[in-house]
Structures are given as C-alpha cells and as structure tokens.
A and B are shown apart, each in its own frame.
Chain A
Amino acid sequence: MEFFTVSLINGTIYGLLLFMVSAGLTLIFGMMGVLNFAHTSFYMVGAYLAYSLQKVIGFWPAIIVAPVIVGFLGVMVERYFLRRVHKHGHAHELLLTFGLSFIIAEVIKLFFGNYPVNYQVPTALSFPAFRLFGTDYPFYRLMMGVISLLMFGAIYLLLSRTRIGIVVRSAIYRPAMAETLGHNVPLVFMGVFGVGAALAGLAGAIAGAFYTTNPNMALELGVLVFVVVVIGGLGSLEGAMLSSILIGLISSFAVGIDLSAADLLGYLGAGDWAQQVGGLLMLKVSSLAATIPFALMLVVLLVRPSGLMGEKE
C-alpha cells in the first residue's frame, strides 16, 4: 500500500514535469513539422542558468529569470538557425536541431565541467510536507507538481480563451490560411518556439535542484520526452499531458517491481525452464524500467502512429 501510494504521487509529479518539457515540443512539432532535438537542451540550460543565477540573485528570482533567458535563446534559435534551413526540408531541420543540441551540451561542459553541479533545493524549501506511512514527503516535490499544474492551466486558458490563443492555434494547424488572413505567422512561430523553450527552461530550473544537474540531463530526458510526445500524439497538448502522466507513473512503479518474466512463469509452473533459458527472462522489471517507455513507443508507432490523441495520418 505504501509502495502504491508513494509511487502514485511520485509518478504523477514526475509526469507533470515531463509535461512541462514535452508541451513545447509537441506544439512546435505540430506547428512546424520539425521534431526539435534541441528542446531538452533548453531544459538543461534552464537548470544550469538557475544554478548560476541563484548564487547571485537568490532562488526565486533565479527561477523566474532563467526561463526568460531560455525563451530568448529559443527565439534566437528559431529566427537565425531554423528559418535559414527551412527551405531544405524537414530532414535538414531535424539534423540542424540535432547539431545544435550537440553544441549546447558541449558549451555547458565547457562552462561547468563534465560532471554534475551542486544545484540543491534551498534550505528554506527543503522541509517535509506531510508524513506518509512513516516517512517524510518533501514539500519541494509537491511544489514542482503544483507549478506544473499551474503552467498547464495557464497555457490551456491562454490557448482556448484568448484572442492570441486562437491566432496561435490557427497558425499551428493552418499556417498558410492564417497568413492569408493577415496574421504574422512567422512571429507566431517565433513566439511559440520561445514559449515552448521557456517552459522547458522552467522545468529545468525547478527540477534541476531536486534531481541531478549534469551535462547529460538533456540526453537522458531527451529520449523520454520524445516517447511522451509520440505516444501522446505529435501536436496534441492533451495527449502530451495524458502520456506524460502515463510514462511518469510507469517509470515510478516499474522501478519498484522486482519481478522478472521468469518469476511470472514460475507461478505458471514453468519456473525451472525459465531459469534454464536465462537471459532476457531473468531480467527484473525494475532493471528494465528504463526500457519500458521505449517499448511502449515502439508499439504505439507501429499500431497507431498518430498517438493517443493526435490527428490521424
């Protein structure tokens, strides 16, 4: 019961964090048809910027300033890099973002070294929120979840209730038409890119303190975020939310399950045979926890490539 509840809460919060990063990615893909490899780099840059700034201006100002800088970086990337190679096609843009993610990672290593930095939750915030089954549940973790929820709410309202939201949505789904109607579609693209990057930066800023902040965080998170976006449906915000929570829960639960396929077969009486075969059957679910999202993505890509809530191909 303890395992279930704790995993549930942890998984949901992790999922919410994933959503903050993947929201921007899925919108950008829906809008420009480009899967931005450098998106999780924005996450990383947000973490490192927050780490550097908090020493100078304090934690809360850093959490606010870092995403803004990252958003600005995103706008620069769209305006001066992506736009230039747009005419060469999607594969080219994909490769460019790939190269940019490479560069960003190396620049981070240049400035901060090829090892984790000591970005920690400030002492003022590292108190327990409540006691759960005898252990303290950290307040900061809850706070991360709450901030993510607030962000989702804000974006949802912005997109569905405001004029800007309507313009953005039309630019995402029918850019040519929106442009014909007189809207400045390139500006919208730049804006969405920037906001998406800022969101990822915010996620990095707050998550970097709780989880580790190291030069590989973009890569580690990167593939997972792609999985989330593909499963949810490229371009769908609701789909991204759904699959983020799903992946978050699966990751949290799987890490605690010490069963293997051999164990399951043992219940059916084929335990000895399974032990003999060995190999894959002996692997525990907990060890494979990292691979489950990939397997899931593969299944989705093969069965329903438009994802849970994406538009049908």
Chain B
Amino acid sequence: MNKPLNHSLQASLSAGSAGAHRGGAERLYLRLLLAAVLLLLVALPGLLSQALVNAAIQMLIGALFASAFNVLAGQGGMLSFGHAAYFGIGAFATLHAMNALSGEGLLPTPLMPVFGALGGAALGLVAGWFSTQRSGVYFSMITLALAELLHALAPHLKSTFGGEGGVSSMRMPAWGISFGNPSEVYYLTLVWVVGSLALLYFFSRTPLGRLTLGLRENAHRLKFLGYNVHVLRVLVFMISAMFAGIAGGLLAMNNEAANYVLFDVRLSSEVVLNAYIGGVGVFFGPALGAAVMTFFGYAVSDLTRSWLLYQGIIFVAVMMFMPSGLSGIFSWWKSSKHDSAVLLRHVLGWSIGTVLCAAATVFTVELLQRALGADYQSLLVPGQVWPGIDLFGRTWLPGAVLTWIVPLVLVMAGGLALRRTSRAWAVLNEQEAA
C-alpha cells in the first residue's frame, strides 16, 4: 500500500502549487465541502449537549495547534519536539492579560488570544533564533531541550507560572455577551480557529509561504538563490509559534486556568502524533488528525484506561503503512488512475482487515488491562482458577482457551483480509504497468 500513497503525497504537494490547474468541477466540490463543514461547525451547539460542545472546543483548539505545528514541521521541514512551549506561553500570556484588563475597552475579552499570539511569537523569536542555527536531528534536539528547560524552570518561577496552583482568571463580559456558557465560548473559539486557519492558508500562498516549502526541500540551494536562510527559518518558526500561542490562549480562555503541566512533553508529543496521523502533506491534514484523535480521546476515554496505548499503536501503524496519514487517502484516491469502484473494493478490503485486527488488539488489551489491574489481582487466590472478567457483555475466563481463541481468530482473519487485498492491488498495478 506504500507505493501509491507515496505518489499521492507528491501529487498532493504539487497540487498545492499547481492549484490553478485543478479541474473546475473539483474545485467547486471542495468549496462546497468546506462550506458544509463550516455550516456544521456553526450549527454544532444546537445539536450537541454541553459536554460534547466542550469536546468540540478541544477539537478546534487541537486542530489549530496541529496546523501551527505543521507550518514548521510539515511545510518547513523542521521537526519540533517541544512545541508545547509556545502553546503554554500563549496560555499564560492570555491569562495574565485577562487579569490585567477589565474585559471592555480597546482590548475586550474576545480579543484576548492576541496576547497568546504575542507571547508565542516572542518566545518563538528567541527559541527559533537558537534552534535554527542547526538543522535535522540537531534542530529537533534543541527544540526538545528548550522545552524541557522551560518545563524544569516553570515551577520555580511562581510569579509568572503560578506554581502548582497555576494561574487563573475569569472571562469578563464584553460586547453584550457574558461568555458564561459553553456555547458562547465555542463560538469565540470557532471564530478564532477559522480565522487563524484562513490566515495560515493564505500564508502558504505568500512568497514566504512558498519559501517555507523551499526550506524543506533544499535549504542549501536557497542560499545560492540569494536568500538568507537563517532569517527565513526564524520567521517561519515565529509564525508557527505565534499560532500555537493563539491555540494556547484559546485553551486558557476556555479553562480560565493553566499551570506548568502545559509544558510537559506529553503535549509536545501529542501534537506531533496528531499532525502525522492526519498527514503533513496536505494543508488540512494535521487539523483532521487532531480533530479525529481528540474526538476519539473523548469518546473512548470513559470506556477504557488504555487510550494512550491505542494512540501510540495508531500512530505507529500510520507511520508504517500509511506514511501520508489519513489525508493521504484522499490524495491517493484522487490521483489514482483506477476508477472508483475498483478503489472502493480495495479500500473496503483493507478497512475490513484493519477493523478485524483492531478488534483483536482492543479485545486483548482490554482483557489484559482488567486481568492485570490491582483490583482484579487482589481477588486472586493461589491455587484457584482465575475468576471471570466482564467484557463486551460477556464473562471471559482468563484460563479458558476459548477466551484467547477469539482474538487469535480475529487477527488471523484480519491479516488474511489485508494480505489478500494488498496482493490483489499489487497484481492490478503490475497489470497496468505491463
């Protein structure tokens, strides 16, 4: 499955630059899709419960954070492992601003995320100036070290970061809106996220945006074309950090609090995972990845304690079998010369196989999770059979062979489906080449 997707990655990248040459019908279709998504987002609070609206806010913030990260990593080719630093600074800057200002006047509540942008940009300038002195894995190490430095220092700088209790604030009413209920916060977040994403898309079309791609492809050559590569890199870093700061500011406004835990490596890791799962070759890829993963996190976190494990497995699976990420599927579909029926058949085959393997994995993990948990272990009496575990509506005995045959059968069936589909695909492509 790798080959067609690699080509699609290239195709989608060139599609960005050769946008003017896309079919008119396709463009219309994409615009309609975008409009539909926007409409859905606007109507959301009316359709969902308050708790889910909260989840939607998190999804939007995650989408912006991942898109900001992508400017640096996917477009600029600079893999940052410490991006939570700019997100976090944005959150704290916004909270301090909220506390300092009353909510009305020149800088009313809805404009508070501007301070997130400023904080992110400022830290991005300093951190970027240092990090971009090196490239490749050294660059990544510097970004990691800087983030860890901040993470280690923050608990000690109590006036800025508030110690364990963190910094908190309150959303003051402005423009006749109280910002008291989640729907209002949702719309504020929506406006900022959509606006920021629009700006980021516009950026990718500006000269600096095109140069960002050049930095990724061949920074060395850019030097000999007359560009100061270090300055370019710092600017790209700053822009990425700025929008990460806005995302952080939005989180601060939503939660009305933040503490130094935001600088933890977990947040930096999460944005990397989300961006690559979504696919960094397409503009909306990382946003898609973040939305999907945040959604799953919400939906599934009540049902299982092993969500992080699943996240990791999904990431590794995507890295190995779908290097262009989820959005790569769309590019692959679009650029393939086979007709939709054929593609659909194969996608179905692969999906069935994946679902079966996933079911086997989930079953095994959930069973192990319960069997190895402290509560269950305390029930064990040496010499006696291990008691049954309730899962998916049935009781399974860990000692019984049947219990373990289920995942085994599932994974074998899944593996078979995947292999057969991949083989059929390979044959199909060989026939084409012949």
Set of chain B residues within 8 Å of A103, measured between Cβ atoms: 309, 312-313, 316
Besides A88-B323, A280-B157, A298-B149, 11 more A-B contacts (Cβ < 8 Å) are A85-B323, A92-B323, A94-B79, A99-B319, A102-B308, A110-B372, A278-B159, A279-B159, A291-B148, A291-B152, A295-B149
28 cross-chain CB contacts under 8 A: A90-B137, A91-B79, A95-B79, A96-B316, A99-B315, A103-B312, A106-B306, A106-B312, A110-B306, A110-B372, A111-B372, A112-B372, A113-B372, A223-B145, A279-B159, A291-B149, A294-B146, A294-B152, A297-B141, A298-B142, A298-B146, A301-B134, A301-B138, A301-B141, A301-B145, A302-B130, A302-B142, A305-B138
B156/A287 in contact, CB under 8 A = yes
**Of all chain A residues, which has the CB nearest B145?**
A294
B311 at the interface (CB under 8 A from A): yes
A188 at the interface (CB under 8 A from B): no
B11 at the interface (CB under 8 A from A): no
**Of all chain A residues, which has the CB nearest B369?**
A110
Rounded to whole angstroms, the CA-CA distance of A277 and B407 in the bound complex is: 63
B319/A298 in contact, CB under 8 A = no
Rounded to whole angstroms, the CA-CA distance of A113 and B305 in the bound complex is: 11
B309/A85 in contact, CB under 8 A = no
Rounded to whole angstroms, the CA-CA distance of A109 and B77 in the bound complex is: 33
B316/A99 in contact, CB under 8 A = yes
A302/B316 in contact, CB under 8 A = no
**Of all chain B residues, which has the CB nearest A227?**
B145
Q: A35-B137, A35-B141, A294-B148 are contacts. A102–B306 as well, Cβ < 8 Å?
A: no
**A233 → B minimal CB distance (Å):** 12
Determine which residue in A107, A111, A294 has the highest number of CB atoms from chain B within 10 A of its CB, and name it: A294
Rounded to whole angstroms, the CA-CA distance of A98 and B373 in the bound complex is: 26
A226/B319 in contact, CB under 8 A = no
Residue from B138, B152, B276, B313 within 8 A of A95 (CB atoms)? B276
Residue from B130, B157, B160, B309 within 8 A of A106 (CB atoms)? B309
Rounded to whole angstroms, the CA-CA distance of A35 and B141 in the bound complex is: 10
B320/A110 in contact, CB under 8 A = no
**B17 → A minimal CB distance (Å):** 21
B395 at the interface (CB under 8 A from A): no
User: Which of these binds chain A: B46-54, B178-186, B265-273, B281-289?
Assistant: B265-273
Residue from B133, B265, B313, B372 within 8 A of A302 (CB atoms)? B133
Set of chain B residues within 8 Å of A288, measured between Cβ atoms: 152-153, 156
A161 at the interface (CB under 8 A from B): no
B107 at the interface (CB under 8 A from A): no
Rounded to whole angstroms, the CA-CA distance of A107 and B273 in the bound complex is: 18
Interface of A is mostly: helix
A312 at the interface (CB under 8 A from B): no
**Of all chain B residues, which has the CB nearest A89?**
B323
A102/B312 in contact, CB under 8 A = yes
Chain B: interface residue total (CB-CB under 8 A): 44
A81 at the interface (CB under 8 A from B): yes
B405 at the interface (CB under 8 A from A): no
- Which residues of chain B from 122 to 156 have any CB-CB distance to chain A below 8 Å in the complex? 130, 133-134, 136-138, 140-142, 144-146, 148-149, 152-153, 156
Rounded to whole angstroms, the CA-CA distance of A123 and B144 in the bound complex is: 40
A100 at the interface (CB under 8 A from B): yes
**B148 → A minimal CB distance (Å):** 5
**Of all chain A residues, which has the CB nearest B277?**
A99
Residue from A81, A111, A226, A278 within 8 A of B141 (CB atoms)? A226
B374 at the interface (CB under 8 A from A): yes
Chain A: interface residue total (CB-CB under 8 A): 43
Rounded to whole angstroms, the CA-CA distance of A109 and B319 in the bound complex is: 23
Set of chain B residues within 8 Å of A91, measured between Cβ atoms: 77, 79
Set of chain B residues within 8 Å of A112, measured between Cβ atoms: 372
Set of chain A residues within 8 Å of B373, measured between Cβ atoms: 113
Rounded to whole angstroms, the CA-CA distance of A112 and B368 in the bound complex is: 11
B309/A301 in contact, CB under 8 A = no
Set of chain B residues within 8 Å of A110, measured between Cβ atoms: 306, 309, 365, 368-369, 372
B137/A94 in contact, CB under 8 A = yes
**B229 → A minimal CB distance (Å):** 16
Residue from B142, B144, B156 within 8 A of A223 (CB atoms)? B144
Q: Mark A69-94, 1 if CB is under 8 A from B, else 0.
A: 00000000000010011001011101
Set of chain A residues within 8 Å of B136, measured between Cβ atoms: 90
A226/B157 in contact, CB under 8 A = no
A8 at the interface (CB under 8 A from B): no
Set of chain B residues within 8 Å of A265, measured between Cβ atoms: none
**A290 → B minimal CB distance (Å):** 5
Set of chain A residues within 8 Å of B144, measured between Cβ atoms: 223, 226
Rounded to whole angstroms, the CA-CA distance of A295 and B265 in the bound complex is: 17
A274 at the interface (CB under 8 A from B): no
Rounded to whole angstroms, the CA-CA distance of A300 and B276 in the bound complex is: 30
Set of chain B residues within 8 Å of A294, measured between Cβ atoms: 145-146, 148-149, 152
Rounded to whole angstroms, the CA-CA distance of A31 and B373 in the bound complex is: 41
B374/A113 in contact, CB under 8 A = yes
A92/B269 in contact, CB under 8 A = no
Determine which residue in B134, B149, B306 has the highest number of CB atoms from chain A within 10 A of its CB, and name it: B149
Rounded to whole angstroms, the CA-CA distance of A102 and B293 in the bound complex is: 15
Set of chain B residues within 8 Å of A113, measured between Cβ atoms: 372-374
A219 at the interface (CB under 8 A from B): yes
A6 at the interface (CB under 8 A from B): no
B320/A98 in contact, CB under 8 A = no
**B43 → A minimal CB distance (Å):** 36
A305/B316 in contact, CB under 8 A = no
B145/A279 in contact, CB under 8 A = no
A106/B152 in contact, CB under 8 A = no
- Which residues of chain A from 12 to 59 have any CB-CB distance to chain B below 8 Å in the complex? 35
Set of chain A residues within 8 Å of B272, measured between Cβ atoms: 95, 98
Set of chain B residues within 8 Å of A90, measured between Cβ atoms: 136-137
Rounded to whole angstroms, the CA-CA distance of A46 and B219 in the bound complex is: 41
A283 at the interface (CB under 8 A from B): yes
A230 at the interface (CB under 8 A from B): yes
Q: A92-B319, A110-B306, A297-B141 are contacts. A99–B312 as well, Cβ < 8 Å?
A: yes
Set of chain A residues within 8 Å of B146, measured between Cβ atoms: 294, 298
**Of all chain B residues, which has the CB nearest A219?**
B265
Residue from A88, A106, A109, A297 within 8 A of B145 (CB atoms)? A297
